[in-house]
Chains A and B, each alone.
Chain A
Amino acid sequence: MNVEKKELKVAALENGTVIDHIPSNQLFKVVSILGLENCPNSITIGNNLASKKIGKKGIIKVADRFFKEEDLNKIALVAPEAQINIIHDYQVTEKRKVSLPDVVHGIIRCSNPKCITNNEPMETIFHVVDKVNIQVKCHYCERSVSKDEIEIC
């Protein structure tokens, strides 16, 4: 029984991308960062799976889709431990960690209601000021936001 489950978890993709080690409470933020709500490909989402590293984890598998590196790196905002596996012909051909970029375009909503970005049809820009504790600063209103306060738009 157990063995079957394990097989189900790892063996499903022929080609595509697996995003593993997502903290369970951030799983749907990752879905939203990658815009998977509107992705027509077949997608498998697992959540609250046991993880030695982070307690409970989520996992996302997207068939026949290979994301741009800069898009995947945006995940690091909410899931800094996330791991990317690229699958070709059932084989993992690339395995890497996400890493936070210096500047994030879009994705984050500024928490300051008086910020211009919340009042004009425009893209937000955030500078990552602390990559270890994850702190970002709005390019426009200059307000700093820490990891737990980051809102994804």
Chain B
Amino acid sequence: MKDIDIKISFAVMGMMIILVGVFQSWGVALSILNLCLISAVMSMGVNIQWGFAGLINFGVMGFLAIGGLATVLISVPPVIEAWSAGGLGILFSGVFIILTVLIVFVINKKFYNFKYKNYLVFIIIILSIPLLKIFSGPSISKIESINAATSGFLGGMNLPIIFSWFFGGALSAGVAYIIGKICLGLRSDYLAISTLLISGIIVSIVKHEEWLSRGVKNVIGLKRPAPYEVDLQNSDWFNNLIEFLNTSKLSKILNNIERQDLLSQLVISSSGVFVKLCFALIFLFVVCFLLYFSEKALRSPWGRMMRAIRDNEDAAKAMGKNVVKQHLFIFMLGSAIIGFAGAMLVTYDGLFTPSSYQPLRYTFLIWVMVLLGGTGNNYGAILGAFVVWFIWIQSAPFALFIINLFTSQLADTNAIKLHLINSIPYFRYFMMGLGLLLVMRYRPKGLLPEKILKN
């Protein structure tokens, strides 16, 4: 049978999540599933860059933050007062930034042979920063002073939040274009470090430009593509559905009032599950869609060319392939997918917290997913996302079990035992590191290695 290992591993993963549903609760199982699916989109984005093209992008965190910013820019209603107070200044500054970028590009293109070109570009960029500050400063302070406690920012466009996923992707691709122009010529380890640092710059901009994103004050109560729990609880069809699903349970209770109580309890608990189920369906659709197209791409002439570039850049160049252009394209494509996932993540959380973007969680964990799952194999990337996220969430009970096993000789009040039990959340880092080291040593191509097609 074809691809038996893929089927078995996904079946096992599905079983694990179902077991969580049975033994813990369906809400927990579904929220694990949802985050697994979102992580799968992220790891597929990284896999497109690293697995297909061999580009090492440690800037995942930055693109996720851009995707998150997109949800705010698209879905939040605009703050009219702020726009009238400082909108003009901001627009003017935006035009100024675009002009500066254009000038830099024109200088790069036209004065190709000019000896001091680089210095000219440098001076222009350095001069533009204080100028920008002079233009935008007053408007920014005006915007941030309007209802500082509740808004204090420009708001967004009040569109359905689904659009923000695509906008986040597009915005990420745009930023990736600029980063790619700067960095893609660098060698692998330089590229890794510089993308990591640039993602740091992006996150600090998102964090500190309060007029744009509310910064560390966070944006809460974002829109949803799924129904709200409260609306469900008040709707007749949902009540009827729950009653229908639990007929056997309800019919055992004869007392009418008790029956109503139980029903309303069931409605409340299952409304949360229902919302998560809606999210899961949307995310599942996204993952399947992406999987279909990246599998197609991998098997297309374009995919073969990308693998050729990855495996032997010089040979690909000699065959007349434009390596620089293809690298830039695939860097943008992968970043767009990561940005898309970033918007999905913020949509699912319902709030945008710029200070939560840390490289460990949002860059390196995603990389562990890809490396663990199997670089260059889309199924591997998805499996890696599922396995890693599952371990990430479920490591606490496991760590507790291990600690109890090793300290069973000690009394419950023993200081060492208590200290270990208090530090349970950090065992997940340990497991991740150990897992990564073991996989790199004994299965360096990942759990589901790349399959080279010979046709």
State whether these chains interact.
no
